[in-house]
Amino acid sequence: MESAIGVLVSKFKAYAGSDGSSDTLSRDEFRSLVTLELPSFVKNAGDPTAMDQLMSSLDENNDGELNFLEFWQLIGHLACKHGGFSQ
Amino acid sequence: MESAIGVLVSKFKAYAGSDGSSDTLSRDEFRSLVTLELPSFVKNAGDPTAMDQLMSSLDENNDGELNFLEFWQLIGHLACKHGGFSQ
């Protein structure tokens, strides 16, 4: 489990580090991550409007960026769906 | 990323399926999971009182079990600490 958690942390850092703060995902970084890393979990990754809505729904402090815990909420819901658990 | 998420889901299911509902972790299932799967992320896994407190802090609906999303909060905080992000 720990190595799987490590993968998620290092992937987040890789994308978060592309521009601006390396602790948060900008809109572009978020889109790249979802498109390249979550192709089967997020079906409409190619739809910019859907991605903007998804990001806004996660951006709890409305700073236009996703910090790790905000991002973690998305992964949790995707994992929940993937596992067939009720949300 | 998707395979790492898959690992976390299947590990949760493996432990949640031992007794009672296979969608939730009982106290014993939670202790086994933390002790065996998160040995370096959770230092006091061997301390029953600490584990009970940890589980109670996560058990948002107070049903004595951890559903997947309650469990996911723990993993998120461990991942946050592991990644050196502010919580």
**Confidence band, pLDDT 50/70/90 cuts, at residue A80:** very high
B57-82: average pLDDT: 90
CB atoms within 10 A of CB B65: 20
Residue B41 has pLDDT above 80, yes or no: yes
Sign of CA dihedral A22, B87, A58, A11: positive
Q: Is A59 helix (H, G, I), strand (E, B) or coil?
A: coil
Q: What is the pLDDT of residues A13-59, one digit of tens each?
A: 999 987 777 899 999 999 999 999 999 999 888 888 988 888 888 88
Q: What is the pLDDT of residue B51?
A: 87
Residue A62 has pLDDT above 90, yes or no: no
Q: What is the pLDDT of residue A7?
A: 96
Q: Are B69 and A82 in contact (CB < 8 Å)?
A: no
Q: What is the pLDDT of residues B43-62, one digit of tens each?
A: 888 888 988 888 888 888 88
Beta bridge partners of A60: none
Q: Are A5 and B67 in contact (CB < 8 Å)?
A: no
A53, A63 Cβ separation under 8 angstroms: no
CATH of A23-83, one of 3.40.50.150, 1.10.238.10, 3.40.50.300, 3.40.640.10: 1.10.238.10
Minimal Cα–Cα distance from A65 to chain B, Å?
14
Q: What is the pLDDT of residues B12-39, one digit of tens each?
A: 999 998 777 789 999 999 999 999 999 9
Question: CATH classification of B24-77 is 1.10.238.10, yes or no?
Answer: yes
Q: Domain residue spans in chain B?
A: 24-77
Query: Which one, of A56, A59, A67, A26, lies nearest residue B79 by Cα?
Result: A67
Q: What is the pLDDT of residue A18?
A: 79
Q: Is B50 helix (H, G, I), strand (E, B) or coil?
A: helix
Please name the helix (run of DSSP H) or strand (run of DSSP E) that holds residue A30, with its range, or none. Answer: helix A27-37
**Closest by Cβ to B68, choosing from A37, A67, A83:** A83
